[in-house]
Structure 1
Amino acid sequence: MVTASRTPSLSRAELRSVFDHGGSDECAGELVGIEVEAAALDPVTGAAVPYEGERGVRALLASLAAEPGAEPEYDRGALVGVRLAGGGAVSLEHGGAVEFSSPPARCVAELAGTGGRALRELAERARRFGFALVPGGQYPCTAIDEVRWVPHSRTPLMRRHFARLGEAGAWGPRVMSMTLSTQATFDFGSPADLGEKLRTLVAASTPAAALFVNAPMEAGRPCGMLSRRMHYLSRTDPWRTRVVPVTLREDFSVDLFVDWALSLPMIHRATPDGGRRSVPQVPFGTLLTEGFEDGTRPDLLDWRAHLSQMFTDVRLRETLETRAFDGPPFGAFTAVPAFWSGLTYHRPSRLAAWELLRGAGPRQHGEALDDIARRGLAARFDGRPVREVAAELLRLSADGLRARIAAGLERPAALACLDPLHEVLATEATFAERTLALWREDPTSFPERFVAAHRIP
C-alpha cells in the first residue's frame, strides 16, 4: 500500500456534513419516498426471469431507457438501471429483482397515488415481455443454485466479502439474490431531531416487523419460517446488519455513528466506467490516512458509498431509510410508508413509541428478530407479546397520521393505507400465513396461483 500523509483526507466536519441539515429542531421537508423490490417471475412456473434474452429483465430496462428523457445506467457496459423521465428510477438487484425507487412525495397519500401508478405502468410493460412483477419478502420458487445473477461488477466483490467472514457471512449470497423488501425514506433536521427519530425507528423496527412477515416459501416449498428473509439477515455480517448498538443509545450523537462507520471496512469503490472495484480490507478510518492501493484516498463520494454498504434495519445517510420489513403484497405496499410516517413525523407519537420500547438493547432485539422470523405475531419482544407491542405501535402511527391530517400536512386517504395491518391484527393471519394457506390448497399449482394472486396488476 502506498504510504500517505498521516493527515486524514476528510476532516471530522466533512464526515459529519452528510448528516448536517441545519439547526432547526424539526426538519423542514418532511418528505417521504419508497423503494419497492419485486421479483420478476414466470407467471406459470414462478421461476426467476433471467437477465439476458428477448424476454429478460434487461429487455425491460432497455424499453424503459428508450423513452424520451430517460437516462440509462450502465455497469461496465451492462445495463442495470434507468432514471425515469417523470422522476424516480428502476434498477436491478443482484438476483434480478426489479426495484422501483420513487421521487420524494409531500405526504403518504400523494406517494400512494404516484407510486401506485408508476408500479402498475412498470408491471404492464413487464407483461409485454411475458413476465410478472411480484413484491414480497423473497423469491418463493427459487433455490440458491437457480439464481439468475445480474452482471453487476459489485456482485463478485460482495460474495467475496461474505466468504471472508466465514460462518458469519454464510447467508450473504442468499440475502443478495433471493430476498425482497419495501423500504421508505424520511427527512430529519437538527442533530437532536435526528437522534430522536433514529432511536425510535430502530427500536420500533423489530416488533413492527411481525406485522409484515412475508417470506415463508423457498424453492416452491414452505421453509419452516414465516420470514426466511429475517432469518437470513440475522446470519449475515452481524457487524453491519440489523440493529447497531449506538443507534439505540439515549445519548446518541452523529459522532458516535461516525466512529462506528469508521471502524468498518469499505467493501467496494466506484470506477470511472460505472463499475466497482475491491479495496483494502482495513477500517475506513485507516483508509483516510493510508489511502487505497492506487495511492488515492477517500473523498466524500467514497464516504457516501461506504455508508450505503451498511445493511442496518434503519440506514442513516442524507435521509433515514427504514429497511427491516419484508415487502408486503402489492395491495398493502403503502402500509410501509404510512406506518413509518405516522411515527416519524408526529412527535408525540414518536416519543410515546420510544417510551414503549426504551430499555431493550441489541441482545433483546436480536432474540426477538429470530423469534419473529419463526413465529411472527406469536413471538415475544423483551418479555412481552409481540402482538401487543405491534398493536400499540400501529395505534400510535394512526394517531400520528390523524394529527397530520388535522394540521393539513396529510390527506385523509393516508389512514386507509394502514387497513391491511389492522386486518392482520384482527384476523391474526399474517401475509406469510396466507401464502402458506394458498400452498396447502394445492402445492402442485401453487406457483401459478401465487403469481396470479400477488402480481402487480
Structure 2
Amino acid sequence: MARDTVDATPIETVADLAATLEAGCKPTSDFRIGTEHEKFGFNVKDNSPIPYGGANGVEAVLEGMERLLGWERIEDAGKIIGLADDQGGGAISIEPGGQFELSGAPLDNLHQTCREANQHLAHVRQVAEPLGVGFLGIGMAPTWARADMPRMPKSRYDIMTNYMPKVGSLGLDMMYRTSTIQVNLDFETEADMVKKMRVGLALQPIATAIFANSPFTDGKPNGFKSFRAQIWTDTDTDRTGDMPFAFDDGFGFERYVEWALDVPMYFVKRGSEYHDVTGTTFRAFMNGALEGKIPDARPSLGDWNNHLSTLFPDVRLKKYIEMRGADGGPWRRICALPALWVGLLYDTGVLDQAFELVKDWTAEERAALRARVPETALQTPFRTGTVLDVAKEVLALSQEGLKRRARMSDGDLDERVHLAPVEEGLAAGMCPADILLQRYNGSWNGDLSQIFRDYAY
C-alpha cells in the first residue's frame, strides 16, 4: 500500500463497513488486473542490503525514480517513502526492510501487465545501475541476517516492529526479509466474491508450491522450499491464515467485516501523525475505547481502510480480492502469477470448474496443505497423489480460461503465453526453489553469492 488514508467520512454500523466492500462490485466488462511485486536492493560491490539513506540507498533510488517518472512524491515525517502515479493509478512503495515494490495500475490484460513490469524494471535499472545498486527477485533474503536489514522511516512500520514479537516468533522476518508477487482482481457480485474467495483460499497453497522460491536463510539452505510461506504460519495469527469461516454457509461481506472488527489494530492516523493503538480491536474502537486517548476518537472511513490494509490472510478482501500466496521471483514469474489467477477466476465457466475441484476439500485438508507445502512444495502428498498433480489440473484450467478470454498481443498471441514458466516448471516437476537448490549443490558449489549475479533483474 503506497499511502495510508485520512478520509474523515464517519462510519457507525457493520452495514456501513460492509457497504465499503460491496462498493467494489462491478460489471465483468470493467474487470481489471493489478499486479504487485517486490524486490531486494543490494550493493553490487559486496551484495549487502542497501540502507535507506546515503548516496546509494533507497532514498536515492526513490528520488531518481521521481526525477525520471515525474510521479507524486509520498513522504512520512519529511522522508520520501514512495511515489504515486495519480494519472495511471500505479505506485511505488517500500516495505520495512527496503523491499522496493511496484503496485501496478489496474490494467485490462496480461500483455499490458507484462509490459508494465518490464518498463518498471528498466526504469529501476536506469536509476540504480549508476548508483552501484542491483535488485534481486526471490522470496526471502538469502544471505542477510535479520540484524543486517535496514529499517525504513515509515511510522506504521515502527508500530508494527514493536508489536510483532508479542504475537509470533517470525513476524519481523516477514516484515524485513521476505518478498512477494501478488495480484488484485475484481468481483461482480457478492456471490461472485464468495466463490472467488473460496477458490482462492483453497488453491493458495497450490500457488505457493508452484512459485516456491525461498529455500535459503542466513546463507544456507533452510530445509524449506518456501520459507516465506512458513514464516506466515507464525506471524500474528489474529490477522493471518486461510480463514476457514469463508467456507461457512452465509459467508459474505458482513461476515468478513465481523472477522475484521475483532482483529487488533496497529495504528490510527490523525493528520500526519500515527497513534499506536495496538491491542485495541476495531470493534472496541467503534464502541468508544479510544475516547480521550487519540484526537477525534470517532472511527472514519480512512481508519477502516487503513485497518483492512493491516490484515494479512492468504486471500485479502477489500474493494477487490488480493491473492497473497506467492514468493517473489524472476521477471517471468511477475507475469505468470497474475496469469494463473486471471485464467482461473475471470472466466465464469472455468471459475465454476475450479470451484468443483476444491468444493469437497475439508477444512482439515486445506489446513494440512497450508502447513506442509512450505517444506515440500510440489512433492507434498495430497489424497491419492501430490500437489504436483493438483497443480497440473489448475494450470490446465487457467490455460483454458485465458484461451477463452482471447486477449491478443501485438504478436497475435493470447495470454496463455505468460503461463510458460509455470508450464515448464510443472512439466519438470520442479518449483523455482528446486532449481535454486540444484544450482547451489551443483554449479555454485555452495557459494550463494552467485545468486546475486544469476537472479538479479
The alignment's TM-score, normalised by the length of structure 1, stands at 0.91
Show the counterpart of 2:21. 19
Provide the secondary structure at the position in 2 that maps to 1:182.
Answer: strand
List per-residue Cα deviations over 1:157-202 (Å, max 9, x = no partner).
Answer: 112222222xxx1100000000000011111121111111111111
Show the counterpart of 2:5. none
Unaligned 5+ segments in structure 2 are 1-9
Matched, 1:196 2:195: yes
Q: 1:332 Cα deviation (Å)?
A: 2.3
Specify the code of the residue in structure 2 equivalent to 1:299. Answer: S
Asked if 1 retains the 8 angstrom alpha-carbon contact of 2:402 and 2:414, the reply is no
What pairs with 1:228-247 in structure 2 (closer than 5 Å)? 228-247=227-246
Name whichever of 180-189 and 60-69 sits farther off: 60-69
Matched, 1:436 2:437: yes
Q: 1:117 Cα deviation (Å)?
A: 1.3
Matched, 1:358 2:359: yes
List per-residue Cα deviations over 1:52-104 (Å, max 9, x = no partner).
Answer: 11011110011222346421111112211112476322111100110011111
Q: 1:445 Cα deviation (Å)?
A: 4.3
The correspondence for 1:111, drawn from 110, 113, 126, is 113
Show the counterpart of 1:219. 218
Show the counterpart of 2:135. 133
Show the counterpart of 1:100. 102
Name whichever of 379-388 and 105-114 sits farther off: 379-388
Specify the code of the residue in structure 2 equivalent to 1:239. Answer: D
d(CA) in 1 for partners of 2:344, 2:68: 38
Provide the secondary structure at the position in 2 that maps to 1:296.
Answer: coil
d(CA) in 2 for partners of 1:200, 1:396: 12
Asked if 1 retains the 8 angstrom alpha-carbon contact of 2:408 and 2:415, the reply is no
List per-residue Cα deviations over 1:186-220 (Å, max 9, x = no partner).
Answer: 11121111111111111111122211100001122
Show the counterpart of 1:5. none
What pairs with 1:267-282 in structure 2 (closer than 5 Å)? 267-273=266-272, 275-279=273-277, 281-282=279-280
List per-residue Cα deviations over 1:223-272 (Å, max 9, x = no partner).
Answer: 11111101111111122112112223353211111111111111112242
Show the counterpart of 2:122. 120
d(CA) in 2 for partners of 1:124, 1:432: 29
Name whichever of 399-408 and 190-199 sits farther off: 399-408
Distance 1:383 1:307, change over 3 A: farther
Distance 1:267 1:151, change over 3 A: same
d(CA) in 2 for partners of 1:424, 1:22: 35
d(CA) in 2 for partners of 1:232, 1:146: 18
Asked if 2 retains the 8 angstrom alpha-carbon contact of 1:33 and 1:104, the reply is yes
List per-residue Cα deviations over 1:316-351 (Å, max 9, x = no partner).
Answer: 001111111112211321001100000110111111
Show the counterpart of 1:152. 154
d(CA) in 1 for partners of 2:24, 2:439: 51
List per-residue Cα deviations over 1:298-320 (Å, max 9, x = no partner).
Answer: 11111111111111111100111
Specify the code of the residue in structure 1 equivalent to 2:425. Answer: V
The alignment's TM-score, normalised by the length of structure 2, stands at 0.91
Q: 1:362 Cα deviation (Å)?
A: 4.2
- How many residues are paired up? 442
Show the counterpart of 2:4. none
Q: 1:443 Cα deviation (Å)?
A: 4.5
Asked if 2 retains the 8 angstrom alpha-carbon contact of 1:405 and 1:411, the reply is no
Asked if 2 retains the 8 angstrom alpha-carbon contact of 1:233 and 1:241, the reply is yes
Asked if 2 retains the 8 angstrom alpha-carbon contact of 1:330 and 1:454, the reply is no
Asked if 1 retains the 8 angstrom alpha-carbon contact of 2:225 and 2:375, the reply is yes
Of all paired residues, the percent bearing the same amino acid is 28
Q: 1:406 Cα deviation (Å)?
A: 7.4
d(CA) in 2 for partners of 1:18, 1:110: 28
Show the counterpart of 2:393. 392
Provide the secondary structure at the position in 2 that maps to 1:324.
Answer: strand
Show the counterpart of 2:344. 343
Specify the code of the residue in structure 2 equivalent to 1:186. Answer: L
**RMSD of aligned C-alpha atoms?**
2.2
Specify the code of the residue in structure 2 equivalent to 1:276. Answer: Y
Distance 1:143 1:402, change over 3 A: same
Specify the code of the residue in structure 1 equivalent to 2:393. Answer: E
Would you identify which runs of 4 or more consecutive aligned residues in structure 1 move more than 6 Å?
none
Q: 1:384 Cα deviation (Å)?
A: 4.3
d(CA) in 1 for partners of 2:244, 2:377: 23
d(CA) in 2 for partners of 1:218, 1:439: 13
Name whichever of 398-407 and 14-23 sits farther off: 14-23
d(CA) in 2 for partners of 1:434, 1:47: 23
List per-residue Cα deviations over 1:410-435 (Å, max 9, x = no partner).
Answer: 97341111010111111122111111
d(CA) in 2 for partners of 1:247, 1:103: 28
Specify the code of the residue in structure 2 equivalent to 1:106. Answer: D
d(CA) in 2 for partners of 1:47, 1:420: 29
d(CA) in 2 for partners of 1:29, 1:361: 34
Provide the secondary structure at the position in 2 that maps to 1:138.
Answer: coil
Name whichever of 170-179 and 69-78 sits farther off: 69-78
Asked if 1 retains the 8 angstrom alpha-carbon contact of 2:96 and 2:175, the reply is yes
Asked if 1 retains the 8 angstrom alpha-carbon contact of 2:214 and 2:228, the reply is yes
Asked if 2 retains the 8 angstrom alpha-carbon contact of 1:68 and 1:85, the reply is no
Show the counterpart of 1:368. 369
Asked if 2 retains the 8 angstrom alpha-carbon contact of 1:398 and 1:415, the reply is yes
Provide the secondary structure at the position in 2 that maps to 1:259.
Answer: helix
d(CA) in 1 for partners of 2:436, 2:35: 24
d(CA) in 1 for partners of 2:346, 2:99: 30
Show the counterpart of 2:6. none
Provide the secondary structure at the position in 2 that maps to 1:333.
Answer: helix
Distance 1:363 1:42, change over 3 A: farther
What pairs with 1:422-433 in structure 2 (closer than 5 Å)? 422-433=423-434
d(CA) in 1 for partners of 2:362, 2:405: 31
Provide the secondary structure at the position in 2 that maps to 1:251.
Answer: coil
Show the counterpart of 1:4. none
